[in-house]
Structure 1
Amino acid sequence: MAPHVATVTQLCLKFMTFDPNYNYDDGEEDGDDRMDVEEGFEESDDEYSDDDDMSWKVRRSAVKCLEALISTRRDLLLSHSICPALLARFKEREENVRADVFAAFSTLLRQTRVGSSHHSIIHAGSDSGAKQQEEEPVVALLKNQVPVIVKDSFYKITSEALLVTQQLIKLMRPQEPTAVSAAFDPKPYVKEVFSVTLKRLKAADIDQEVKERAISCMGHLVCHLGDHLESELQGVLAIFLERLKNETTRLAAVRTITLISASPLKVDLSPILPEALSLLGSFLRKNQRALKLGTLACLTAIVTHHSASIKPAALEPVLNEISPLVDESDMHVSQVSITLLTCMAKACPSSLAKICSSVLPGVFGLIHSPLLQGGALAAILDFLQALVLSKATNLSFSQLLKSLVEPFQSSKSPAGSSVLHRQSYHSVARCVAALSSASPEDAPGTVSGLIQQVKGSGSPESDRVLALLCLGEVGRSSSLGGSKELQGVILEAFSSTSEEIKTAASCALGGMAVSSLNEYLPFILKEVSAQPRKQYLLLHSLKEVISACSASSLSPHLESIWTLLFQHCECQEEGTRNLVAECLGKLTLVNPAQLLPRLRQQLKTGSPLARGTVVTAVKFTIVDHPAPIDSLLKDCIGDFLKTLQDDDIDVRRVALVEMGPFKHSVDDGLDVRKAAFECMYTLLESCLEGLDVLQFLDHVEEGLKDHYDIRMLTFLMLARLASLSPAAVLQRLDRLVEPLKATCTAKVKAGSVKQEFEKQEELRRSAMRAVAALLAVPEVERSPSMADFANQIRSNADMASIYQSVQASGGRGGRTLGEHGQELDSS
């Protein structure tokens, strides 16, 4: 296609002006840009009607083709002819074509990046001499035409024009300016853009989409160019406050205030801040999840950037509303809520004076939850550190520490000790380490107390396990030194009759060695050889060290660790050999160029037990993310696979990935994929304009073939895309039809349980809803595969029944499948 791109582009530019039956009376298309309509077209003597004019289809097809070129060929951005040509077509008389022109221009703006691309938009068609003498043609067209289009009476045109204006505002003064943007003065254009946007912002009797776009567009104008608005700014902020009070526009207003709050221009929000904070606090008790998350983000931005304008009393209602949000039922909302609390502790610490009775119990409850992990745990660690450092509340280090460990100490009986999940032990240990890191003066006393708790023979098992884990996490974040007492306490814990205590001691020793490598690593290596009965636990500690330490810190110790591991790779206990193999694999990742050839060499010189350990170690060098070892493995993986033909049956068993005919498939990535597709659905709902729809559809196509839960979500996304981006969906229609057809025609195996039949029926109904949405897309009848599938639905009584049921339940009962499969209006 590459050799023909220039020709296709010129044809698109030529045919998108093809309008032989209309005179625009502006003379702009009299030159080379206007198609010579005299060649090949003769006017008829018969009376002509506008109903017979099909030239708009030619123009629309040309614009859509040009949009496809822009979205796939970024080098076209350097062409100085595309942008002016699209701008010249803003006056298009057919509304459908004009909407496509706006869509193409929006695509052009999205493809634009700062630097040379920015120059091609703002200074298109100008040279260094011309810039001093006359206004650039593109800027002149924008100045004259965009304000006119925003005033258009058709809501869709106005909405798209506001979106274009919003993109232009970002280009006029990016938040990360370059030399090109710094040389461009936006001041002459601000007043005109502001006046037309303000008119739409004030209007109450307009379409909801236009209202939201006007709020967003004005928000970007204030964010990027607020210093040019001067006296008008207060009036705009007052309108935003009114939109915040309106149920239909409050979410858009919240997002806009978030944007303005974080503006580098430091826009003064003090006139609306007290009332806005009260409204935002009330939104936190609403059931709408998107509104809650948007409000929390808005409050975080306000507290972070405008803390000087906030009185502590103004945040009290917000603090009261945050308390119910910190709950394990929605970890993401909890995480964002705690992030807001962290910002309050840093920027407005006096506002947290009453935190003990409101939010803090919920935070500690979340810490003790078995579900806490990842981002939510990281947010809590930041919050606890900020709380200690703020020193504005009545909470001391010791009070916070007591609240963390109290549930464990109150569990004296075996029955009570089972209440807390093992995950909560690790969460609390990390919290104790975070507190100690924020308050170094309290850390030594804390460590001494933990050591005494481990040494106390009368201490409950839960206390000793928690103390050991806390020692490991504290030692991971700050050096505890090579204390003989501490080393002795750990070794003594290795001799405990409790497996939980021994495992915790192993983790503690590994954690303490991370930040004190020179003190603890030689101790671990010595004890591995000297304590055969504790070898397994010590190897666990060594694995912790190898996994957590950086390559630079481990490099001086590579040889000593490597030698030790190969001394024990022929151990008779398979569990120990597997642990040695894991350590070898992880160690090889530290310096693959040096260690992988040595691992490969061991295949030729080692005993069967050593060869089996080496093969197992190779499995641990294969990681999910790209790594430097990948290219090296590619060259030598064949040698490791040859062990499938090893003389020793145990080596062959280790090398064989699939052991025997009885296999149970476990999809470890299902939860992550489900979360990713849920994120895609949210992106589709909230920021479609920032997505590459064709790339998005690639993932949707994969989701149509995935697990039940993911397919259900993907069907919803496909139906939504059919409405929002029909042109992109049409391009991929043939590839999307096949998985839909497979779902609709799939049969459940005989003898399956009732739930399987119910799940398959729900899948078919969801797939049919997506089919109905696709059939509603204009020009879908041009797809042969879709037409064949529609005929198949019509001719199959079962599928036709499901389709009609879906139509009736979806409120579109007046639409049926015609004789050729296409969807027709029965009315």
Structure 2
Amino acid sequence: MGPSSVPRQCLEGLEGGWELKQLFLRNQLGLAKGLFLLCRESEDEYSDDDDMSWKVRRAAAKCLEAVIATRHEMLTEFYRVVSPALIARFKEREENVKVDILQAYVALLRQTRPLIAPVGGGPIGVDDPRALVAAQVGPLVRALQRPLRERALKTRQGCLALLTELLQLLPGALADYLPALLPGLHFSLSDRASSSNMKIDTLAFLGCLLTHHNPQVFHAHVDTLLPPIITAVGDSFYKITSEALLVLQQLVKIRPKRNLLRLGGQDQECSFRFEPYVKDIFECTLTKLKASDIDQEVKERAITCMGYILCHLGDSLQAELAVCLPIFLDRLRNEITRLTTVKALTKVAG
């Protein structure tokens, strides 16, 4: 039996015990052991050929995930002790271990959600569970910057799953960290080695990002956000195109109405101008709107997206209405696309 197999088997036993028996005793020996092994690097003890210590670290991560999932009453202690240890291990060199560490942190965020739901959207107090999460956002983003740009697809997908869970738990949490995150997102969309699923997951996260933040947060970043989204709309794979149209639909909403922002209960002049981006957004969507030989999902998303474009950017597209309306009329004649078109026209009229 190898030097790493005994602690690994012990940790696997601990994991099974917590999942099956739901231990409620405050015995922290297993928790401490899991943390110790997870944070410990054994690179000096093994050569690259016989290093099996990653199995110990992976078992430790799974053990911690099992503890987190079953010991709800220890949430505060998890954020104090476990969270920093997990974040410190985002630099793990073995992809399988890193993915399990990210998954353990996702479990921590999920265990926090039931405690936040009754609180609502009021101010965050000292004892509010949201304060525990908010205190971790900075270290989390800094630790995820490098993994978001790694070649390993599973790692990047794990990072996006974690950030999505964070936003669902604490909307607006990433407002101050967009400059740190956007390069990694741009990399996943533009990297030729990225799989279709990777691009779809990245676009889905961008949609989540746009949905869970105030529009003005993105004004300074449209130059970075828009080009890869437009490229994705023109992708040959229909699922990527469909997801990109959904994101574009969210993006056009960030344009302030009448160039005014609501700040402190008052309307204030906004210096941000969306006009330079209108043409590219309209043309890439129009290409999909015109196409008749495309997937039904893409066809409906293109109709809906154009409805949002005309609703939010219509004052800059007066001449283009003559191009769009005949296409909408044609879609109204088709029973399959009729309802989607009616909803889009209702949006434009409203």
Aligned residues of 1:254 and 1:298 also touching (Cα < 8 A): yes
Aligned length: 308
| 1:164 has 2:104 as partner | yes
2:340 aligns with: 379
8 A Cα contact 1:146 1:165, kept in partner:
yes
Report the alpha carbon displacement of residue 191 of structure 1 after superposing the two structures with TM: 3.1
The Cα offsets for residues 137-160 of structure 1, whole Å up to 9 and x where unpaired, read as: 322222342123222221111122
In structure 1, how many angstroms separate the alpha carbons of the residues matched to 2:220 and 2:114? Answer: 26
285, 288, 291: which one pairs with 2:240?
Answer: 291
Q: Which amino acid aligns with 1:344?
A: I
Pairwise CA distance, 1:301? 1.9
| 2:235 aligned counterpart, secondary structure | coil
CA contact (8 A) 2:31 2:67 kept: no
Which entry has the higher C-alpha Rg, 1 or 2?
Answer: 1
The superposition leaves residues 350-398 of structure 1 with CA deviations (integer Å, 9 ceiling, x where unpaired) of 25434445444443333333xx33xx43321111222334xxxxxxxxx
Equivalent-residue separation in structure 2 for 1:386 and 1:285 (angstroms): 24
TM-score under structure 1 normalisation? 0.33
Residue matched to 1:124: 74
Change (3 A) 1:107 1:319: farther
Between the aligned partners of 2:115 and 2:283, the Cα distance in structure 1 is 35
Q: 1:84 to 1:177 in 2, by over 3 A?
A: farther
In structure 1, C-alpha distance between the alignment counterparts of 2:13 and 2:297, rounded to whole Å: 44
Structure 2 equivalent of residue 99 of structure 1: 58
Structure 1: runs of 5 or more not aligned: 1-48, 71-75, 113-119, 126-135, 390-827
Asked if the contact 2:233/2:241 (under 8 Å) is kept, the reply is yes
State the AA in 2 paired with 1:192.
P
2:239 is the counterpart of 1:262 = no
Letter matched to residue 382 of structure 1: K
Other structure's SS at 2:220 match:
coil
Change (3 A) 1:82 1:272: farther
TM-score normalised by structure 2 residue count: 0.69
Specify the code of the residue in structure 2 equivalent to 1:345.
L
Amino acid at match of 2:103: L
The aligned residue for residue 285 of structure 2 is 322
Asked whether the equivalents of residues 322 and 359 of structure 1 are also in contact (C-alpha less than 8 Å), the reply is no
- Quick check: 1:328–1:366 contact (8 Å CA) kept in 2? no
Alignment match, 1:60: 12
Task: Spell out the pairing of 1:387-402 with structure 2 (5 A cutoff).
Answer: 387-389=348-350
- Which whole-Å CA distance do the structure 2 matches of 1:353 and 1:287 have between them? 30
Give 1:214's match in structure 2, choosing from 159, 172, 177.
159
What is the match of residue 2 of structure 2?
Answer: 50
User: CA, structure 1 residues 324+266, in 2 after alignment: closer, same or farther (shift >3 Å)?
Assistant: closer
1:180–1:361 distance in 2 versus 1, CA, 3 Å:
closer
Give distance in 1, aligned partners of 2:178 and 2:115. 19
Deviations 1:550-609 (A, max 9, x none): xxxxxxxxxxxxxxxxxxxxxxxxxxxxxxxxxxxxxxxxxxxxxxxxxxxxxxxxxxxx
How big is the shift at 1:245? 3.0
For 1:124, give the aligned amino acid.
M
- C-alpha RMSD of the superposition: 4.0
Matches within 5 A, 1:193-592: 193-201=140-148, 203-204=149-150, 206-218=151-163, 232-247=177-192, 248=194, 250-264=199-213, 268-304=217-253, 306-308=254-256, 311-326=274-289, 327=292, 329-356=294-321, 358-369=323-334, 372-373=335-336, 376-389=337-350
Aligned equivalents of 1:314, 1:229: Cα separation in 2: 24
Whether 2:156 is the aligned partner of 1:191: answer no
Deviations 1:466-513 (A, max 9, x none): xxxxxxxxxxxxxxxxxxxxxxxxxxxxxxxxxxxxxxxxxxxxxxxx
Question: Is residue 224–residue 263 contact of structure 1 (8 Å, CA) maintained in 2?
Answer: no
Q: How does 1:131-146 map onto structure 2 within 5 Å?
A: 136-146=76-86
* Offset of residue 295 of structure 1: 0.7
Q: Larger RCO: Structure 1 or Structure 2 (Cα < 8 Å, ≥ 6 residues apart)?
A: 2
By how many angstroms is 1:231 displaced?
Answer: 5.8
Name the CA distance, whole Å, in 2 between partners of 1:310 and 1:251: 29
Deviation at 1:253, TM superposition (A): 3.3
In structure 2, the CA distance between the partners of 1:266 and 1:169, relative to structure 1 (3 Å rule), is farther
Cα distance between partner residues in 1 of 2:214 and 2:115: 9
Aligned residues of 2:12 and 2:59 also touching (Cα < 8 A): yes
Inter-partner Cα distance in structure 1 for 2:183 and 2:321: 36
The 1:147/1:348 distance shift into structure 2, 3 A limit, reads same
